[in-house]
Amino acid sequence: MSVVALSILGAIIGSFLATIAVRWPEDRSVLRGRSACDGCGRTLRAHELVPLLSWVIARGRCRLCAARIDPLHPAIEIGCAGIGAAAALVAAPPVALAGAAFGWLLLVLAVMDARDFWLPDPLVAALALVALSGAWVAPPALGERVIGGAGGFAILWLIGAGYRRWRGRDGLGGGDPKLFGAIGLALGWRMLPAVLLVAGLIGLGWVLVERVRGRAVAANDALPLGTLLAIAAYPAWLLMIGMAA
């Protein structure tokens, strides 16, 4: 029942997070007004807002103007449902809910960094608050989390500052140290080296895939480090909680 419940809750929350990921970078409000078609502006009815099901029934298009619905909507809804299910499989409800919330926020941040190279401070702050709240229901202890938060931020901030001084330009986005700090608040300091290593390996894998596809990757091409960190962090949380159970 916990798996089903968190999957359904994840799909519902994913619907809202997808709206944030699509509209916020375009400077469109996600809190005011009713949901509407991005193509024609028609106000959507309740039966058109059911996560996943409405998109499948509509075949991915607005029934009035036939505009394509951004596939990011169902993708994030499915992702959030999967995150909720995974959390419920490794932990009891209080811990699972905290872990699912951590994963849901990581997902929307990963998407926004991949699409727009943007890690909004309010979302990173929300991730940090969720991470700290987890100390009351699951390991690691609060002290390890605080050290992880401070250490995670400091590591990437120092790397970014050193690169800027050495090369005379930015090598890291300003949101990356904050995100890594929030991840440290969730996982504690012991997991941070593994998360950074896995994120680096994922980035290296992406570069190799691009080269195999025939696309030249230049030294100054940007990679969304926040996305890579988020992808590495949630499996690390699942592993940590699974080992502690």
Summarize the confidence of residues 241-245 as an average pLDDT.
Answer: 87
Rounded Cα distance between 174 and 157, Å, is 8
Q: Cα angle at 115 between 111 and 119, to 5 degrees?
A: 65
Cβ 11 vs Cβ 52: under 8 Å? yes
Rounded Cα distance between 109 and 232, Å, is 13
Reported as a single tens digit per residue, the pLDDT across 183-198 is 999 999 999 999 999 9
pTM of the predicted protein model: 0.93
Higher pLDDT, 214 or 231: 231
Reported as a single tens digit per residue, the pLDDT across 93-150 is 899 999 999 999 999 999 999 999 999 999 999 999 999 999 999 999 999 999 999 9
Rounded Cα distance between 231 and 234, Å, is 6
Q: How confident is the model at residue 163 (pLDDT cuts 50, 70, 90)?
A: confident
Q: How confident is the model at residue 177 (pLDDT cuts 50, 70, 90)?
A: very high
The confidence score (pLDDT) of residue 36 equals: 77
The residue behind tokens 């570069």 is 207
With a pLDDT cut of 70, the percent of the chain lying above it is 96
Give 198's Cβ-side CA count (13 Å radius).
Answer: 14
Higher pLDDT, 58 or 178: 178
Rounded Cα distance between 76 and 108, Å, is 8
The confidence score (pLDDT) of residue 39 equals: 75
DSSP for 133-151 reads HGGGTSSS-HHHHHHHHHH
**Beta strand extents in the chain (DSSP E only):** none
Reported as a single tens digit per residue, the pLDDT across 9-25 is 999 999 999 999 998 99
Q: How confident is the model at residue 49 (pLDDT cuts 50, 70, 90)?
A: confident
Higher pLDDT, 214 or 117: 117
Where b means 16+ CB within 10 Å and e means fewer, 81-100 reads bbbbbbbbebbeeebbbbbb
Q: What is the 3-state secondary structure (H, E, C) of 83-109?
A: HHHHHHHHCCHHHHHHHHHHHHHHHHH
The confidence score (pLDDT) of residue 33 equals: 65
